[in-house]
Structure 1
């Protein structure tokens, strides 16, 4: 038995709808009916890294980091494959740069998407405390 099961359907064109448990997700290579697969992957990566960052903070004694926002950007190569990903992590709590660097590294170890991506496609991460 699998741990994760999804079903993805495309009736026509380049959009597809995936059923993931009780949720539907539309991905569209043309960006018309939903985000394209590369954009969805970057968003999924950030959505995985953010809770990993919170857990990393808790493990470093920061139980309340407050609001956290990740602004992600990515570069594509000539074949439209993801080539580079960057995260700017903004944290409401006043956390010094050394502690932020420790949390960044711990979150990298925790994030499952980080583990699943090829070595050359890991996000470059800058974290900013006391950001809001």
Structure 2
């Protein structure tokens, strides 16, 4: 028995619909009918990293971070493959730089997408406290 099962279908063209549990996700290689696969991967990475960041903060005694926002950007190489990913993490709570660095390091160890990516694609992360 598998831990994760999905089904992806394309009736024509470059648009596909993936069924993930009770959810549907439309992805378009051309970015016309939905986000392209690379954009989905970057968003998925940020969506995994954000709760990992909160868990890492909680493990370090910071229960309430308030609002946390990750602005992610990525670079593509000449073959349209992901070449680099960067996260700017904005945290409402007022944490010092050492604490932020510690929480980022812990989140890197928690985030499953971070672990799944080849090391050269791990996000270059900058975190800012007291951001809102």
TM-score of the alignment, normalized to the shorter chain, above 0.5 = yes
Counterparts of 1:120 and 1:100 in 2: how far apart (Å)? 22
- 1-side partners of 2:4 and 2:124: how far apart? 28
Aligned to 1:45: 45
- Normalising by structure 1, report the TM-score: 0.99
Can you list the C-alpha shifts for 1:33-87, whole angstroms capped at 9, x where unaligned?
1100000000000000000000000001100000000000000000000000000
**Where does residue 32 of structure 1 map in the other structure?**
32
Equivalences for 1:92-131 in 2 at 5 Å? Answer: 92-131=92-131
**Distance (Å, rounded) in 2 between the aligned partners of 1:13 and 1:66:** 43
Task: Find the aligned partners of 2:105 and 2:128 in 1 and give their Cα distance.
Answer: 14
Using the size of structure 2 for normalisation, the TM-score is 0.99
Q: For residues 91 and 130 of structure 2, what CA distance do their matches in structure 1 show?
A: 6
SS of corresponding position for 2:95: coil
Distance in 2 (alpha carbons) for counterparts of 1:51 and 1:122: 17
Q: Which runs of 4+ in 1 moved over 4 A?
A: none
Contiguous gaps of at least 5 residues in structure 2: none
Provide the aligned length of Structure 1 versus Structure 2: 132
Aligned-pair Cα RMSD in Å: 0.3
Distance 1:94 1:18 in 2: 40
What is the deviation of 1:114? 0.3
